[in-house]
Copies of this chain bind each other. A is one copy, B any other.
């Protein structure tokens, strides 16, 4: 596909081709299957390759394309985001956490391998993410800014912190502000980081983007970060496991508070629609350049799995 064809393609074609780019990048950037220790590298690749919607890398790519980032710069950054996401799934699925056996339509990592390998594969995928950022073909200040963004979004004040709140509240009451804080940390922070990191990959290092661009992108990213989780909660009720590729109804089974359990299904759907609109509004100033991010907002809110 030529650059012009890629730029002008329908969303479905753009997303499919972008997912292929991400899959190729991950395939090349992760240690090879036959590199020692082989079982660990197999598990890292099993947990990362060949599945998933790649929402975070797609957001990163779309934000990068908005600021004319090169493919060579953006793909390792998008891959780092997916490594963090994959590590979090491997650890979340462990018996001591959500104890899940199905993920992306396949046995979870600790089922396919063993628990020790799953813990270590998750650990090493996190490390890999930071190594990819450090090696990205961008200026040192840009790379450091990316390391900060990713660390802040995925650490104890971000994704891992949100997961900790989640684990502590199984079977316990949580009100709407608590639930929102948890999801902003657990899912929202990394999705927001995906957009912010993409826009940090612009080619002119000296020429920082105007503050208004960062603010608009950030409004967009916050809205879709939250929308993503609301839709996840709706799908957990409405879809079946085969469509989801993971165990459906498990939040209700685990007696976890969700937007649906707190607001009811109809209100949760209204909330998703309002966040969808907020995301579109935030992009209004970008015109045609905001097309992929708009389409991704539609994809996130209107998806069936």
Contact = CB atoms under 8 A, between A and B. Distances in A.
B31 A157 contact: yes
Interface in A107-128: 114-117, 119-120, 122-124, 126-128
B37 A164 contact: yes
Nearest to A141: B140
A167 interface: yes
A151 interface: yes
A13 B151 CA distance: 36
Contacts of A127: 126, 151, 154-156, 160
Interface stretch (A90-98, A242-250, A276-284): A90-98
Given A147-B147, A157-B31, A167 B134 contact: no
Contacts of A35: 157
Given A144-B140, A165-B37, A130 B116 contact: no
Given A141-B140, A155-B124, A160 B40 contact: yes
A44 interface: yes
B154 A120 contact: no
A16 interface: no
Interface of A: 31, 35-37, 39-41, 44, 87, 91, 94, 96-97, 114-117, 119-120, 122-124, 126-128, 130-131, 133-135, 139-141, 143-144, 147-148, 150-152, 154-157, 160-161, 163-165, 167-168, 181
30 contacts: A36-B165, A37-B165, A39-B164, A41-B156, A97-B116, A97-B119, A116-B164, A119-B119, A120-B160, A120-B163, A120-B167, A122-B123, A123-B126, A123-B160, A124-B160, A124-B161, A126-B126, A126-B127, A127-B151, A128-B151, A131-B151, A131-B152, A131-B155, A133-B147, A134-B148, A139-B140, A140-B140, A143-B147, A144-B144, A147-B147
